[in-house]
Amino acid sequence: MTAVLLGLTLAALRIFQPEFWIAIFPDDAYYYLRTAQNLARGLGSSFDGINKTNGYHPLWMLALWPLASIFRSPEWLLRAALAVQVLFAAAGFGFLALAFRESGRKMTGFMIAAALTVLNPLLVSTFIDGLESALYFMTLSLTFLLWARISEKPPARSAAWLGIGALLGIVFLSRLDGGLLALWMGIAILISDRPLKSRIKKAAGFGLGFLIIAAPYLIYNLIEFGHPVPISGRVKAFFMSHDPKYLAGVAALFVVVAGSTFILHFVLRRRLSGFAGTLFTYAEFCISAACYYLLSPAFAFAVWYYLPALLVAILVFGWILSSLPEKERKGLVSALAGAGLLFICLGYLVFFFPGAQSFLKTQDEVTVWIKTHTRQDDLLAAWSSGAIAYFSGRQTINLDGLANSPEYFFDYRAKGKRDEFMKKMGVDYIVVYYHFDARPPLDKFSFPVKTALELKTSYRGPGNFFRRSTITYYVLQTPFAEAAE
């Protein structure tokens, strides 16, 4: 049923949102898709087909690579990726439903929580986004189910703990932040009421299972890119806040919220069911992940970062609803139906708000212009370059560094030598957009550029708290393009 309701939500968006693919898939999703296309073409792990990158979570890329080999059309690759994400999400909800049923609670509460989630496009966008999110959701959900089972009846065999550790390794490869969940699960093993020798043996098996899966990826990164962490993570760490007061605030938030949750978990551990104990572990994980994201405030507001929190909220909401007496539950369901309907309407408003449509339309117009006014072998450079590269079909160097090589970011961008890199690469066109600044950015580069395209639009949407702002897109021609002509 969840898959059907999710399909209805996506169908409504597809019918009524003209810029469906740009609206539902953020720009980062096209970093994956474009890199997968280049892998399928034999160009290696590269977004632009020139510079090597590892700026992605590996398991989703491994899923997209064969899809890109089969579906050569950009439109069909998008459809295939969306279909796979729907299947992953449906499987994830299935695992959560099974965990909920095994907890002994009535399924009504979970069904209501799941339905309110998949009918709301704003919540759907946290796991159907062209990124690793649906795969991450599925692996987190499967892990929740299995961890609740072994917490209820801990197996004596070391192989079982080795296996659950390996599963956490898969969660880690789905999204590297999942390593925090492995950490909290290791802690959960160590604070259990089992004999100390048994706890150490289980934790060792768990850790070994995790490393068997996770270590080869980290070693590959170290050998190929000089660091175990992918470049996207290193870029975000580079822009971590250096404000002592802000960092102290994040640390205090973590200590208070995560600490109180952990203390409560520790005190109640002997009385908690497997399901409830797992909820505590996941809550500790969600708090840790949120505080980690807040360390780099420039990147902290991507909605898909908080997918684990949505998973916990679905289960907690369903559990509370199922725990109410029948008479109270009926009244609350009616109230929730009304509140849920309003929240669903708000979700659609975010996607269909008239003031936000012009930005999406302008981005599409820029892509069309590039396809019709540049040559197939022209080299582009852009910030937020995913959709531009994917839909234009042009080789596009990623200037923010998230999907470029470590050499570019640390040897050029971080040292203020971005333009030197573009000269070295022979970039023909630069694609950029600015908020409020109506002047062509001709003086923002160390080499002369001229405006090939200028498109101005106004935007009002959730990204700027529904205040109207002006956005101007520029395509700038470099002297290297003129020399080639």
pLDDT recorded at residue 340: 80
Query: Which stretch of 24-33, 269-278, 455-464 has the lowest confidence by average pLDDT?
Result: 455-464
Q: pLDDT (tens digit, 9 = 90+) per residue, 170-215?
A: 999 999 999 999 999 999 999 988 888 889 999 999 999 999 999 9
Structure token pair of residue 137: 């959701």
Q: How far apart are CA 326 and CA 324, in angstroms?
A: 6
User: Model confidence at 301, in pLDDT bands (50, 70, 90)?
Assistant: confident
- DSSP label at residue 175: -
Structure token pair of residue 159: 């192989």
Q: pLDDT (tens digit, 9 = 90+) per residue, 425-467?
A: 999 999 998 876 667 777 789 999 999 999 988 776 665 556 6
With pLDDT > 70 as the criterion, what percentage of the chain qualifies? 95
Residue 80 has pLDDT above 90, yes or no: yes
Q: Name, in order, each residue with C-beta under 8 angstroms of 108's C-beta and a sequence gap of 6 or more.
A: 321, 322, 329
Type and span of the H or E element at 453: strand 450-459
pLDDT recorded at residue 77: 98
In one letter, which amino acid is 85?
Q
Q: Name, in order, each residue with C-beta under 8 angstroms of 94's C-beta and a sequence gap of 6 or more.
A: 2, 141
pLDDT recorded at residue 482: 57
Q: How far apart are CA 168 and CA 27, in angstroms?
A: 28
Of residues 328 and 53, the one with the higher pLDDT is: 53
DSSP secondary structure letters along 18-77: TTHHHHHS-HHHHHHHHHHHHHHTT--SBSSSSSB---S-HHHHHHHHHHHHH--SHHHH
Structure token pair of residue 79: 């459809």
pLDDT recorded at residue 461: 63
pLDDT recorded at residue 54: 97
Return left, alpha or beta for 436; rule: phi > 0 is left, psi -120 to 50 is alpha, else beta.
left
User: Model confidence at 259, in pLDDT bands (50, 70, 90)?
Assistant: very high
Q: How far apart are CA 341 and CA 344, in angstroms?
A: 5
pTM of the model: 0.94
